[in-house]
Structures are given as structure tokens and as C-alpha cells.
Amino acid sequence: MQQRTLFEAPPRDGLHLERRARRRGFFHVAGVDEVGRGPLAGPVVAAAVILPERPNLPGVTDSKKLSAPRRQALVESIYGEALSVGIGLADPEEIDRINILQASFQAMVRALSALDPPPDFVLVDGPYTLPLKIPHQGIRQGDAKSLSIGAASIVAKVYRDRLMDKLDELYPQYGFKKHKGYPTRAHREALRRHGPSPVHRLSFKGVREHCNGSALSLDSSPK
């Protein structure tokens, strides 16, 4: 029988992984997740959440499984229950410079750095090792297994959606309010008509393919 590592045990409930960490002596256990790797525009946003031992957060799970109104309702409960919530961003310029994966890691580190109290253990969504000095563990599909990670995914999603709504006011020709920067047909058509905006990710193939070449000026090659 294949053995599981300490933090890869099957989720008995949403706080199973947090309790196991606390039994090892880690008191402030944070969950961290990011949203916005796939869009052609806008930042990648990460959130980190430290929950109390017995939070009252029914319905919290992976943000992708929830409707926008449900996420909006839950995010208020998360802020009310959490010991701390942190937000971190990486903008399109940084994404183009260091690549989307590394930018996602930097956003997560920034979100964790914004927590007060600081965490002494971190549950990370996905099988990743972050550039952190504190102990942490990557959890595959962590946003569905850990309440802390699930809460972080909701906070990050709501925060990024609100940012994209504001960018829609600055660049209404792209329809950011509807698609949040993701590569929908309407978004690709807007790129063909208008070229990229200052908030588009110039290193992304989807941007280069659907805009005028003369509108692009990117010195570095996509990573």
C-alpha cells in the first residue's frame, strides 16, 4: 500500500490539514492560493488566510466551484472569521519579465508577508515549493481539501474580479468587466481591433496572436 506523507492525508473535513499541522506545534497555519494565471490581461492575485481553530464558514471551497454572488457573500464571512487576511499581486510587467509561474510565487509570498500575525506554517495550493523561510507544504487540489486554502482562493478571486472591473472603466473597449481578462472570443476580437492595452501581458502567446505586431514592444522572449 502506498504511504501518504503527513500533509497529504485525505480530507476528512475542511480543517483536517490545519489540525495535523497544529498537532506538530504550528499554531498560526495559513492557507495561500492565487488566481489569474490564465488571463491575457491584468495581474495575478494571491491571498493568504489564517483561520481560528473552529471557524464558522459553511460553504467555503474552491472558488471556481462557486457563483460570483456566492463568492461575494462568503468573502464577507471570511474576513469576519479570519485571524488575518493578506493580499499579494504581480502586475503584467512583472509577469512578462519573470514568467507567470514565478510571478504567481511572488504574489503568494507577498500575500503571506502581509499577514499579522505571521504564519509559522503554510499550506500551499498545488505541488509547489515557495521561496519561504518558514515551513510549508504544497497540497494538490488544496483549495478543495483545506478550508484555509479554499478561503484564500475566494478572497483572491473576489479581489481580482474587482480590480478587473476597475480596469474596465479605464479600458472599456476590451470588456474586462465581463471576462476578467480571460481569452474569450470577444476579448480576442478586441485585441485584434485595438491592440494591447498597458495592462495586457505582452509575453502571452494569445496577446501576440491577436493584435497588430506594430503595437507590441517586448524586449524579452516569452518564458
Query: Cβ contacts of residue 56 below 8 Å, gap of 6+?
Result: 77, 81
Cα separation of 12 and 128, whole Å?
A: 23
SS3 for 151?
A: helix
Annotated binding site for a divalent metal cation: 33-34, 125
Rg (CA), the chain: 18
> With contact defined as beta carbons under 8 Å apart, do 197 and 210 qualify?
no
Between CA 129 and CA 131 the distance in angstroms is 7
Report how far residue 122's alpha carbon sits from residue 84's, in angstroms, rounded to the nearest whole number: 13
Residues 174, 10 contacting (CB under 8 angstroms): no
User: Which residues sit in the known binding site?
Assistant: 33-34, 125
- Measure the CA–CA gap between 16 and 145, rounded to whole angstroms: 8
Burial class (CB in 10 A: 0-12, 13-18, 19+), 140: exposed
